[in-house]
Chain A
Amino acid sequence: MEADNAPAIVFDHVSVTCGGLNILDEVCAVVPRGSWTVLIGPNGAGKTTLLLALLGEMPCRGRILVGGGRGLRLGYVPQKLAVDKGMPFTVTEFLSMGVQRRPLWLGVSRAARDQAAALLDMVHAPHLMKRRVGTLSGGEMQRVLLALALQQKPELLILDEPSAGVDLEGGRLFCELLEDLRQSQGFTQIMVSHDLGMAAHHATNVICLKRRVIAQGSPQEVLTVPVLQTLFGMHMGLICSENHVHHAGVQACAAETEETPHA
C-alpha cells in the first residue's frame, strides 16, 4: 500500500561519469505519481543521460527508486528511430511484434491487427496502418512510437524530446494528445524537452537540470528569471500569465529574452 502512494521516481544522489567527465552530479529529484514531469536544461545538461540511467542503459552511482522500489510498467518513446527506409516492415507488423505469439512470417493475427488499429486510433493515426515504418515522417513516427509504448499499458511513460523535428503545430497537437491520454489512462509521464512554452502550459512538475538539479517544482515556481538565467546563461524571462496558460494556448507562454518588454 505504501508503495502505491510512493512517488513514481526518486532520483537519490544520482551521478554519471563518462570518460572522466561528470555528466550528472548528485542529482536528487522526485517525480510525483500521476504527474507530467518535464526535464529542461541546455544541451549537455544530462537530461537524456538521466533518462538512460532510469532505463538502465547508463551505469550510474546513487539510487533510482521506481514505484517505491517495486518498479513500474514502462513505455518508452525515443527521440528518433533509425529504420532502414527500404525495409518492408509495416506499421501493423511493428505494432504486432510485441503482442503476437505466432511468428509474423505466418501473418498478422486478427486480434493483433485489431489491437494495432485501436492503438492507432488512440494516437489519432488510423491512416498509418498499412504504411511502411521507414516511410513515416517525423510526426507520424512519433505517433506510432507512442502507440507502441501505450501497448505496454504503461504506468510510467518516458519520452525523450518527442517533438524534436516536428513543426510547431504538430508539436502542439502531440502534447494535447499526451495530455488527454495521461488524463484518461492515469500514467505518470517524464519527458525531456527544450520547449519552455510546452513545459509552462502542460507540465505539472518541472526539473531544471544542468548536471545537477537547479530547481524543481510546478512550472509557476520553477520557470522564473533567475532559474532560467542559471540554466541557459543568458537573460531569459517568461511571459506567462495564468489566463494565457489556460485559455490562449502554448503561443501565449513563450520564453523570450529580457530585451523584449514583459506583458
Chain B
Amino acid sequence: MPDLSWLFHLASLFPLEGMDMRFMQQALVALCLLAPMTAALGVQVIHYRMAFFSDAVGHSAFAGVAIGLVLGVHPHISMPVFGLAVGLCIMFLQRFSALPPDTVIGVVFSAVVASGLAVVSRDNTLARDLQQFLYGDILTLTETDICWLLALFAAFVLFQALAFNRLLYAGTSRVIAKAHRVPAALCEYLFAALLALVVMFSVWSVGVLLVTALLIVPGAAARSLARSAGGMFWWAIAVGLLSAVTGLALSVQPWMHTAAGATIILVACGCFLLSVIAASLRSEIR
C-alpha cells in the first residue's frame, strides 16, 4: 500500500479544530477526492437526465452489502462490485429494450431494493450493520479506502480528459452522435461504470439517502452560475469542494454536532439557493 502520510500531513495543516486526529485527516482527504468527482459527474448526470440512475445504483448498495454479509465477503468489496453490475445492467437494458429509460431503472431499482430487504429480513442482526449505509459516515473511511479512492480519482481524471466532449455529443443526441461516428456506446458504458463506483464511495460518506444530492446539487448550482459547458464543470467542482469542506468543518463544531454527510448536503443546498438568486439578479441587470 502506498505511503499516504504526506497527504494526511497536508490535511493536518487545515485550520480546523480536531485536524490533529488521523480520522479527521482521512475524512478531509477522502472528501477532497470524492467531492470533485461527484460534482463533475453530476454535470453529466444532469445533461443525460440520469438522476434516477444514480439513485438506483445508490440503493443497490443496500443489497450489495446484505449479499456480501451473507456470503462472507467484505462489504467494501461486495458493495462496489454489485453497484457496478447494477449500473452496467441498467445501461445495457436501456440500450437494448423497447421500454422507456425510467421504466427500466424503476424495475431494476425495485429489484435491488427488494433483494436487500429480503436478505436482511432473514437475519435481524444484519440490519444493525446496514444502518451506516443508510446514513453514511465519512469518518469511518480507512486508509485502504483512500488508496482505492485515489485510484478511482486517477481513472476519473483520465476519463474526463478523453471522453468529456464525446459524452456531451452523445448526451445531446445519441442518433446524431452515432451518425457522425462518435463512439457513444463505449463512452456511455464507461461513464455508467465510473458513476456506479463513485456513487458507491459516496454511499459510505453521505449514505444511500443523500447520495443523489451529492451528485445533483453542485451541478444544479453550477447550471445557474456558468456561462458555458466548460464553465459548468469548474463551477460544479468549486461548489462541491466548498460544500464538502465547509460541511465537514461545521459538522464537528460542538454547537452543531450533526452528521457530516447531511451537513455537506445542507451547505450545497445553501450554495444552490445563492446561485439561483445570483442568476436571477444577473438576468435582471441585463
Q: Which residues of A approach B to under 8 Å, CB–CB?
A: 52, 55-57, 74-76, 78, 81, 83-84, 86-90, 93-94, 96-98, 100-101, 103-108, 133, 145, 148-149, 151-152, 158
Proximity string of chain B (50-69) to chain A, C-beta cutoff 8 Å, 1 when within and 0 when not: 00000000000000000000
Give complex CA distance A109, B231 in Å: 14
Determine whether the beta carbon of A90 is less than 8 Å from that of B228: yes
Query: What are 28 A-B pairs at a CB distance below 8 A?
Result: A55-B175, A56-B178, A74-B181, A75-B180, A76-B180, A78-B176, A83-B172, A87-B229, A88-B226, A89-B228, A90-B229, A93-B230, A94-B172, A97-B165, A97-B169, A97-B172, A98-B169, A100-B165, A104-B164, A104-B168, A104-B229, A105-B229, A106-B230, A145-B176, A148-B176, A152-B180, A152-B181, A158-B179
Chain B contacts for A145, CB-based, 8 A: 176
Determine whether the beta carbon of B47 is less than 8 Å from that of A87: yes
Give complex CA distance A56, B181 in Å: 12
Determine whether the beta carbon of B165 is less than 8 Å from that of A104: yes
Determine whether the beta carbon of B180 is less than 8 Å from that of A74: yes
Proximity string of chain B (152-196) to chain A, C-beta cutoff 8 Å, 1 when within and 0 when not: 000000001110111011001101101111100000000000000
Give complex CA distance A104, B161 in Å: 9
Residue of B nearest to A54 (CB): B179
Chain B contacts for A104, CB-based, 8 A: 164-165, 168, 228-230, 233
B227 at the interface (CB under 8 A from A): yes
**Count of residues in B whose CB is under 8 Å from the partner chain:** 30
Chain B contacts for A101, CB-based, 8 A: 165
Determine whether the beta carbon of B230 is less than 8 Å from that of A55: no
Chain A contacts for B231, CB-based, 8 A: 88
Q: Which of B176, B180, B223, B234 sits near A86, CB closer than 8 Å?
A: B223
Determine whether the beta carbon of B168 is less than 8 Å from that of A97: yes
Chain A contacts for B227, CB-based, 8 A: 88, 90
B232 at the interface (CB under 8 A from A): yes
Residues of B231-268 whose CB lies within 8 A of A: 231-234
Consensus secondary structure, chain B interface: helix
Chain B contacts for A152, CB-based, 8 A: 180-181
Given contacts A97-B168, A103-B160, A104-B168, contact A88 B228 (CB under 8 A): yes
Give complex CA distance A263, B53 in Å: 61
Determine whether the beta carbon of B179 is less than 8 Å from that of A76: yes
Determine whether the beta carbon of B230 is less than 8 Å from that of A57: no
Given contacts A76-B179, A105-B164, A105-B234, contact A93 B172 (CB under 8 A): no
Determine whether the beta carbon of B175 is less than 8 Å from that of A78: yes
Chain A contacts for B47, CB-based, 8 A: 84, 87
Chain B contacts for A90, CB-based, 8 A: 227-229
Give complex CA distance A81, B230 in Å: 21
Determine whether the beta carbon of A98 is less than 8 Å from that of B165: yes
Give complex CA distance A78, B230 in Å: 25
Residue of A nearest to B47 (CB): A87
Chain A contacts for B181, CB-based, 8 A: 74, 152
Q: Which of B160, B162, B169 sits near A105, CB closer than 8 Å?
A: B160
Determine whether the beta carbon of A89 is less than 8 Å from that of B182: no
CB distance from A212 to the nearest CB of B (A): 25
CB distance from A92 to the nearest CB of B (A): 8
CB distance from B154 to the nearest CB of A (A): 16
CB distance from B3 to the nearest CB of A (A): 31
CB distance from B127 to the nearest CB of A (A): 41
CB distance from B164 to the nearest CB of A (A): 4
